[in-house]
Amino acid sequence: MTTFLKPFTEELEKLSNVGMRWVRGGVTVCSRVFACICSCDSVARCVLQNILQFNGLYGCSWCENPGESIEKGRGHCRVYPEEAQQPDLRTHEQLKKNGRLAFRVTRQLVHLWFDSNNHNEPWYLGKHIPVIDSRLKRVMPPQEVTRVPRSITQRAFWKGSEWHWWLPLYSPVVLRGLLPQRYFKHLLVLVQGFYLLTKSSISSADLDKAAHCLSQFTQKFQLLYGKKHMTYNVHQLTHLVQAVIDWGPLPCYSSYIFEGFNMVLLSLFHGTQAVPHQIANSFLMYKELSIICSTGEATEDPLTDNIFSFMNDQLQGYTPLKKAKKMEQNITFLGASYSKPLTIEEKYLVEELHQRNDVENDG
């Protein structure tokens, strides 16, 4: 966090105090830059705000709810049970939100439903996993969904986008008739509240309805799942509507785009020495390579020459190049080839592709 934020905050401090000068219509204008919101998770947020973490006394970033420490398993955990009188809001730096709260609550619910430790609970769904997986495979998601649903047994490896769509798209469909009715209706209340807060345009009526849904969800959560499961994530739902009032719909500041880039960052360095410099150098190299690929030739920039030299050195004797096979339309396949029988679906798609090409050629 320090690696990325330190240079950013130093530059932002200069831009907010001194600003930058530019010319508009012959007039010099001084513009200042301010960051109005910071998207971060619950662990990083308490560090930025210099307060206790969510599992400590008064650990909520938005209100002065002290929470309550209770026994859970062999240890203790801090819960945030619903109170008749709502605690006061914090007066400094309210509601810096990342839009992922609903999904963290979703993860908690999924854990409750499928954790074998809860096999005696009325909400336990572990015995229905084959049925749920079968329903997941039959769901035809819209084009906006970039990942097809994977088995619920693979949930530990689900990506952010998979959790993103589980709540509003998949859960109401695949859990219907399996989750006991009162628990299923309780889930739909969360789905409705989440949907209202993620619309591109949100009216005052939507905000009121969402606030009512989330309030009902948190109140009934304790009755249905017990006080020991009233975690910080569930408590934060009570502050979600105010975040939308302050900053707009949740997708506008969701951190999923940054989370999805973490794998790219991991691929930009090797080893543990000078990691920030490795990331910066690799990133600049990839950016330069994209320019080279688009132009098809090297520029006069010395950096470009170095990149060409570096890539040539790296690819000399590289095993995939020894068995490369050049196809038509400037396509080259790298590595050793092997035969693989097509599935029925693949054969169907290939035939359909050939038919489309024939139609286009005839046209």
What secondary structure does DSSP assign to 257-271, as a single string? HHHHHHHHHHTT--S
175 and 186 Cβ atoms separated by less than 8 Å: no
Which pLDDT score is estimated for 302?
57
Note the pLDDT tens digit of each residue in 216-258.
Answer: 898 899 889 888 888 878 888 888 888 888 888 877 777 766 7
Give the lowest-confidence range in 20-24, 105-109, 171-175, 355-359.
Answer: 355-359
Mean pLDDT, residues 113-127: 91
For residue 315, pLDDT beyond 80: no
Give the lowest-confidence range in 206-210, 292-296, 356-360.
Answer: 292-296
Residue 122 to residue 72: CA distance in whole angstroms:
19
Cβ atoms within 10 Å, residue 150 = 15
| 239 and 95 fall within a common domain | yes
For residue 183, pLDDT beyond 90: yes
Which pLDDT score is estimated for 358?
75
Is position 126 within any domain?
yes
For residue 269, pLDDT beyond 90: no
Give Dmax over CA atoms of the chain in angstroms: 75
For residue 322, pLDDT beyond 70: no
Is position 361 within any domain?
no
62 and 94 Cβ atoms separated by less than 8 Å: yes
Note the pLDDT tens digit of each residue in 55-88.
Answer: 666 667 767 667 777 777 777 777 777 665 667 6
| 208 and 82 fall within a common domain | yes
For residue 99, pLDDT beyond 50: no
> Which of the listed ranges 32-46, 53-67, 186-200 does the model predict with the highest average pLDDT?
186-200
Residue 216 to residue 190: CA distance in whole angstroms:
9
Which pLDDT score is estimated for 320?
57
| 274 and 203 fall within a common domain | no
Q: What is the mean pLDDT of the chain?
A: 78
What does 233-302 look like in DSSP terms, one character per residue? HHHHGGGHHHHHHHH-SGGGG-SHHHHHHHHHHHTT--SSSSHHHHHHHHHHHHHHHHHHHHHSS--S-H
For residue 103, pLDDT beyond 70: no
Is position 37 within any domain?
no
Region class of 310: left (phi > 0), else alpha (psi between -120 and 50), else beta: alpha
Question: What's this model's pTM, rounded to 2 decimal places?
Answer: 0.51
Q: Tokens for 25, please give them.
A: 């219509």
Which pLDDT score is estimated for 96?
38
Task: Classify residue 142 by burial, with Cβ atoms within 10 Å: 0-12, 13-18, 19+.
Answer: exposed
| 14 and 98 fall within a common domain | no
More confident residue, 62 or 270: 270
DSSP secondary structure letter of residue 69: E
> Which of the listed ranges 9-23, 258-272, 318-332 does the model predict with the highest average pLDDT?
9-23
Residue 125 to residue 155: CA distance in whole angstroms:
14
Determine the residue type at 61: S
Q: Tokens for 331, please give them.
A: 């396509």
Is position 363 within any domain?
no
Is position 82 within any domain?
yes
| 249 and 262 fall within a common domain | no
Give the lowest-confidence range in 27-31, 105-109, 294-298.
Answer: 294-298
| Residue that terminates a domain, selected from 253, 268, 286 | 253
Instruction: Tell me which residue range forms the domain holding 17.
Output: 1-31
For residue 95, pLDDT beyond 50: no
| 154 and 117 fall within a common domain | yes
31 and 18 Cβ atoms separated by less than 8 Å: no
234 and 65 Cβ atoms separated by less than 8 Å: no
Residue 363 to residue 359: CA distance in whole angstroms:
6
Residue 221 to residue 191: CA distance in whole angstroms:
14
Is position 360 within any domain?
no
For 204, half-sphere exposure in the C-beta direction (CA atoms, 13 angstrom radius) is 0
Question: What percentage of the chain carries pLDDT values higher than 70?
Answer: 76
Q: Is 53 helix (H, G, I), strand (E, B) or coil?
A: coil
Cβ atoms within 10 Å, residue 321 = 12
Cβ atoms within 10 Å, residue 58 = 13
Is position 36 within any domain?
no
46 and 54 Cβ atoms separated by less than 8 Å: yes
Residue 92 to residue 361: CA distance in whole angstroms:
66
